[in-house]
Amino acid sequence: MEQDIVIKIIELLGTFAFAISGIRHAAAKQFDWFGGYVCGIAVAIGGGTIRDVMLGTTPFWMTTPIYMICTAVALLTVAFFGKWMEPLKNAWFVFDTLGLALFTIAGIQKSLAFGQPFWVAIIMGCITGSAGGVIRDVLLNNEPVIFHKEIYAMACVLGGIVYWGLMELRVPVEMTAVLSFLTTCLIRFLAVRYHISLPTLKNEE
């Protein structure tokens, strides 16, 4: 029970951080409050919504209003305390990474619960964790961050591969989830710390 509470708290912090990232990007382009809220929602629930639609089930945010409320709180936070938030950018990055890792695991576990094979579950985990950011960038008319910045979506994929490998070794699901979570977080932290990214494609004519 205590573990479930901790995971729920971190998940909500991740949702809050995702929403903050979307709203801050919208603020940089001088969107109004509604536009900021839409961008925040896109990051917070976008990936999970795509996953649930592809799995043929009710999108998770339609079962509880907490995600909408969390995004509204994020909007008010940016609106009234935005100028004091810049020194906290490292903290938001940590929460964002924790949310990324947790949502990746949630996507994998939900897909497996629906009887999907592991390769599909890994893709669903990646979509759950990173697709919201793509929707946000499209709404803002920006090049999606996952295509040109430090490793982001690939951290989800590698974390999912670790999850699959541990399950094949019959490691208890609780330990599997923890190790997959830590792997995703570590890869993301190292990628940002040392500016690690995938090779870029060259268009040589």
pLDDT of residue 189: 93
Give the pLDDT of residue 68: 93
Helix (H, G, I), strand (E, B), or coil: what is residue 152? coil
158 and 125 Cβ atoms separated by less than 8 Å: no
**What is the per-residue pLDDT for 91?**
72
C-alpha separations of 204 from 130, 143, 147, 201 in Å: 30, 21, 19, 9
Q: Which residue has the tokens 């409050």?
A: 33
* CA distance linking residue 125 with residue 184, whole number of Å: 11
What residues contact residue 95 under an 8 Å CB cut-off, 6+ apart?
A: 13, 14, 16, 17
Profile the chain (205 residues) by mean pLDDT over runs of 10 residues.
Answer: 62 82 87 94 92 94 91 92 75 80 90 94 94 90 79 92 95 90 94 87 73
Contact between 50 and 42 (Cβ < 8 Å): no
Find, among 168, 154, 169, the residue nearest to 123 by Cα.
154
Number of helices followed by number of strands (H, E) in the chain: 7, 0
Check: CB of residue 96 under 8 Å from CB of residue 21: yes
pLDDT of residue 149: 66
Determine the Cα–Cα distance for residues 50 and 48; give it in Å rounded to an integer. 6
pTM equals: 0.87
pLDDT of residue 116: 96
Residue linked to tokens 């579950």:
121
